[in-house]
């Protein structure tokens, strides 16, 4: 479903610098082995929609200055977000984060689009969202020797008298989702504190930049750099490259809700099936595993329903990111600023997911992969880049983005919680986004982008699958 074409009027383009009392010195932050795999990923593009029933005059006179000032104060604690990224020209050294001009590009805009259309769950044209996404500078040449890539850009778009959207584009090479969520939280808290009785927002904890707390016990840095150098010489890497809009022509995005009651139905089905067939129950049946397993099966059945060529003996993979701070063999500081995540990849044969017990098989594979990461985060880590390469451009593999644990719907800048959150980058690859539900306790919102015909079929599979899943192992939801 699309809407009447809307326009976007840019009101201001500026650069947000650190507060005047902050020293602007150039510094370098070496990437750790955790950062290097993200060189192969395109930017994340989350949009946060807020109800805001005020005119443009109030927005520009009151809200914009507050957002600018609070962002500036936030950047003094996350100052590497204002930097540029220098891929090494000779490919012999780790890439570096360089703090150069000390600013983040901020765009202030106004739109005549339908705010509540953007905040809906039903299928919407993916291209409708792109005017709300900030432009992140692509790589360019510096005196013919180096490439410079900005790591963060922000755009705030007002829908007069209705709402506003805070859009981000950022490269994960500088930090993981946990760190960016802390950044969002700090900005929102600073924004709420301005104009209040308190003189300043008291930070509970400051980000830790010390790279020495990350120990490369398996020599993964050189392994990952070798993969980086090999691919860098052959073709462009993902970082700095924003997708072409032609690649998403005909694509729609929709949001599906998995409630706690529906998760319990899936869990009940799995347990009863295992009892009926005298099989071992999957080791990990968390809400995340149950949701991922169900979506994975629906997507595979979607291909089958559309008569797409599916080789049943081929493997299908489900990839996800696992938090690493609590999985390290040593005590990792929760305030560490940077990447500290593991890559999980569950694998089964396609025919196994298409069978009567497809959900059981999927849950067992994902849960076992999580347990493996729990016991040894770096077991098989030397293959992380190779393992994840199969996801690019694939129709039979899926990977998940974000995490319900991050509580993104709690980000309040002073005018309430977000009305809706959308991750736009999922439209370019076979990705699903998983975040906490805004309105349903313990629920999970599933963001998905597909061609219109595939989305229609997926909707039928998803809704029918949940409606006919009783605690009866003999009923197949296909």
Catalytic residues: 172, 412
Strand partners of residue 84: 98, 150
Q: Which of 32, 70, 39 is nearest to 208 (CA)?
A: 32
Contacts of 68 (CB under 8 A, 6+ apart): 14, 16, 106
Q: What is the DSSP string of 94-128?
A: --EEE--S-EEEEEEEEE-S-HHHHT-SS-EEGGG
What distance in Å separates the CA atoms of residue 391 and residue 397, rounded to the nearest whole number?
Answer: 6
Specify the DSSP class assigned to residue 64. Answer: H
Residue linked to tokens 């629920």: 443
Q: What is the DSSP string of 26-63?
A: --EEE--TTTGGGGGSPPB-EEEEEE----HHHIIIII
Three-point CA angle 170, 409, 377, nearest 5°: 60
Contacts of 187 (CB under 8 A, 6+ apart): 70, 71, 74, 413
Would you call 139 helix, strand, or coil by DSSP? coil
What distance in Å separates the CA atoms of residue 98 and residue 26, rounded to the nearest whole number?
Answer: 7
Contacts of 28 (CB under 8 A, 6+ apart): 96, 97, 98, 99
């Amino acid at each position: 479903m699309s809407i009447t074409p809307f326009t976007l009027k840019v009101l201001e383009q500026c650069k947000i610098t650190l507060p005047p009392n902050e020293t602007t010195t150039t510094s370098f932050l070496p990437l750790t082995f955790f950062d290097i795999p993200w060189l192969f990923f395109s930017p994340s593009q989350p949009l946060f929609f807020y109800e805001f029933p005020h005119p443009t005059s109030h927005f520009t006179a009151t809200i914009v200055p507050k957002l600018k000032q609070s962002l500036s104060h936030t950047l003094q604690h996350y100052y590497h977000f204002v930097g540029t990224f220098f891929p090494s020209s000779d490919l012999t050294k780790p890439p570096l984060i360089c703090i150069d001009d000390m600013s983040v590009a901020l765009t202030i805009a106004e739109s005549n689009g339908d705010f509540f259309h953007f905040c809906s769950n039903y299928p919407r044209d993916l291209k409708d969202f792109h005017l709300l996404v900030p432009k992140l500078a692509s790589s360019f040449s510096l005196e013919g020797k180096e490439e410079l890539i900005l790591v963060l850009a922000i755009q705030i778009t007002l829908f007069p008298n209705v709402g506003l959207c805070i859009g981000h584009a950022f490269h994960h090479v500088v930090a993981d989702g946990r760190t960016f969520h802390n950044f969002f939280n700090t900005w929102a808290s600073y924004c709420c504190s301005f104009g209040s009785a308190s003189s300043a927002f008291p930070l509970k904890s400051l980000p830790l930049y010390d790279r020495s707390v990350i120990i490369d016990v398996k020599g993964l840095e050189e392994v990952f750099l070798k993969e980086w150098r090999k691919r860098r010489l052959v073709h462009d890497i993902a970082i700095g490259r924003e997708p072409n809009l032609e690649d998403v022509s005909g694509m729609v995005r929709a949001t599906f809700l998995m409630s706690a009651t529906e998760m319990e139905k899936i869990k009940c089905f799995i347990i009863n099936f295992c009892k009926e067939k005298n099989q071992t129950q999957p080791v990990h049946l968390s809400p995340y595993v149950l949701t991922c397993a169900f979506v994975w099966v629906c997507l595979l059945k979607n291909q089958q329903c559309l008569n797409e060529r599916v080789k049943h003996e081929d493997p299908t993979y489900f990839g996800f990111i696992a938090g690493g701070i609590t999985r390290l063999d040593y005590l990792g500081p929760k305030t560490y600023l940077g990447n500290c995540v593991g890559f999980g990849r569950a694998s089964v044969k396609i025919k196994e997911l298409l069978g009567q017990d497809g959900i059981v098989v999927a849950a067992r594979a994902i849960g076992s992969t999580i347990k493996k990461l729990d016991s040894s985060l770096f077991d098989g880590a030397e293959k992380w880049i190779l393992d994840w390469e199969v996801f690019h451009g694939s129709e039979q593999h899926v990977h998940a983005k974000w995490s319900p644990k991050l509580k993104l719907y709690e980000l309040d800048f002073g005018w309430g919680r977000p009305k809706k959150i959308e991750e736009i980058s999922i439209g370019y690859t076979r990705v699903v986004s998983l975040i906490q539900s805004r309105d349903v306790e313990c629920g999970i919102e599933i963001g998905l982008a597909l061609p219109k015909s595939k989305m229609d079929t997926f909707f039928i599979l998803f809704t029918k699958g949940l409606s006919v899943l009783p605690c009866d192992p003999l009923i197949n939801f296909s």
